[in-house]
């Protein structure tokens, strides 16, 4: 007779051991693990981005000061809405100062004499030449408004889009070139892009008041929408095979996309373009400033449209 140690019923685990052996799924990404350094870095980047967005939003709701005699006079001539003209005490009076004060009073803009040191403080020591004009926060248009303005002109639409241009001086210069060469408006991305600040107002010399500037929530999607409306999209790219001298698309409905100062066109925007265009230059010159490149191409577009 075989002996056994079994005594009575054996108590089972109720399946707990089997369930305990089941895996917990794939290992989360480093950025999703609470205690991982990558998670802390990702959180820090997200927080910094939120803070930048808040600062930008706050800046866009504050009045701006356009400094300098020429920019102030040009803004007043262009009908830029303004609430105050600040004139430094004891400055040399020339025709620009006289015109600025006269036109400001005629338009009901208050003229305030302030000590020069106070104007230095107000303009963050900008080159104000004794004059500064307070303008309200800029009112951006919608991309559809820019397209409608083009249709209302009766001419083939010409729109300039900026892909990540973060220097307000470049933005202002592009707006000025766009106005000079017959563009119907400018589109900038909502994020990671310069906005219409006092610096942009100054560089645009008041033309930002004459030309609609729109913000696009998603630039790539906006460009695709414009393509669906029949516009061709060209991007400025130093490595393009087609040069501005060969730009056959110039006389039709067109969007000219200018890339950022350092990286150029982003990948998605480049893939959205119907054609990329380079500017022929002398050997040894690497690239042009974004606003200069925009001016060169827009000038060629305007020339071709004049002779077409």
* 176-189 pLDDT, tens digit each: 999 999 999 999 99
CATH of 143-307, one of 3.40.1280.10, 3.10.310.30, 3.30.230.10, 3.20.20.105: 3.40.1280.10
Same fold, 64-135 and 143-307: no
Answer yes or no: is pLDDT of 7 > 60: no
pTM of the model: 0.68
- Give the mean pLDDT of 32-49: 73
3-state helix, strand, coil in the chain (%, to 5): 45, 20, 40
* 85-98 pLDDT, tens digit each: 999 998 989 999 99
Specify the higher pLDDT residue, 215 or 281: 215
Distance between CA 160 and CA 144 in Å, rounded?
13
pLDDT at 17: 60
pLDDT at 262: 73
* 248-304 pLDDT, tens digit each: 998 999 999 998 877 788 899 999 999 999 888 777 666 778 888 899 999 999 999
Specify the higher pLDDT residue, 266 or 4: 266
Q: What is the CATH number of domain 64-135?
A: 3.30.1330.30
- Give the mean pLDDT of 191-204: 76
Answer yes or no: is pLDDT of 42 > 80: no
The domains of the chain are located at 64-135, 143-307
Q: Are 159 and 101 in contact, with CB atoms under 8 Å apart?
A: no
CA distances from 59 to 6, 125, 204, 222 (A): 81, 18, 19, 25
Kindly give, in sequence order, each residue whose CB lies less than 8 Å from that of residue 157, ignoring residues fewer than 6 positions away. 147, 150, 151, 184, 231, 253, 254, 255
Answer yes or no: is pLDDT of 78 > 80: no
Answer yes or no: is pLDDT of 1 > 70: no
Q: What is the mean pLDDT of the chain?
A: 83
Residue bearing tokens 């990948």: 267
As given in the structure block, the two tokens for residue 81 are 């809405």
């Amino acid at each position: 007779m075989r002996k056994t140690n079994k005594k009575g019923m054996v108590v089972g685990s109720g399946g707990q051991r089997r369930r305990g052996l089941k895996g917990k799924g794939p290992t989360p990404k480093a950025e999703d693990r609470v205690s991982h350094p990558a998670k802390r870095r990702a959180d820090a980047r997200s927080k910094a981005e939120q803070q930048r967005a808040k600062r930008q939003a706050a800046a866009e709701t504050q009045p701006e000061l356009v400094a300098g005699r020429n920019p102030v006079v040009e803004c007043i001539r262009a009908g830029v809405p303004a609430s105050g003209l600040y004139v430094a005490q004891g400055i040399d009076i020339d025709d620009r100062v006289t015109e600025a004060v006269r036109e400001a009073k005629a338009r009901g803009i208050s003229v305030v004499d302030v000590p020069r040191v106070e104007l230095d403080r107000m303009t963050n020591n900008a080159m104000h030449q004794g004059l500064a004009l307070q303008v309200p926060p800029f009112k951006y248009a919608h991309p559809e408004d820019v397209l409608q303005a083009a249709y209302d002109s009766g001419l083939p639409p010409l729109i300039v889009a900026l892909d990540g241009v973060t220097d307000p001086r470049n933005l202002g210069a592009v707006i000025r070139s766009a106005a000079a060469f017959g563009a119907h408006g400018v589109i900038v991305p909502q994020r990671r892009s310069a906005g219409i600040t006092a610096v942009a107002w100054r560089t645009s010399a008041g033309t930002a008041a004459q030309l609609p500037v729109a913000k696009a929530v998603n630039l790539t999607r906006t460009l695709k929408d414009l393509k669906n409306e029949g516009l061709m999209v060209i991007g400025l790219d130093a490595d393009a095979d087609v040069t501005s001298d060969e730009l056959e698309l110039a006389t039709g409905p067109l969007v000219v996309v200018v890339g950022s100062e350092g990286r150029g066109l982003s990948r998605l925007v480049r893939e959205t373009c119907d054609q990329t265009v380079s500017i022929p230059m002398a050997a040894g010159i690497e690239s042009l400033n974004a606003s200069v490149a925009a001016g060169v191409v827009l000038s060629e577009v305007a020339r071709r449209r004049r002779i077409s």
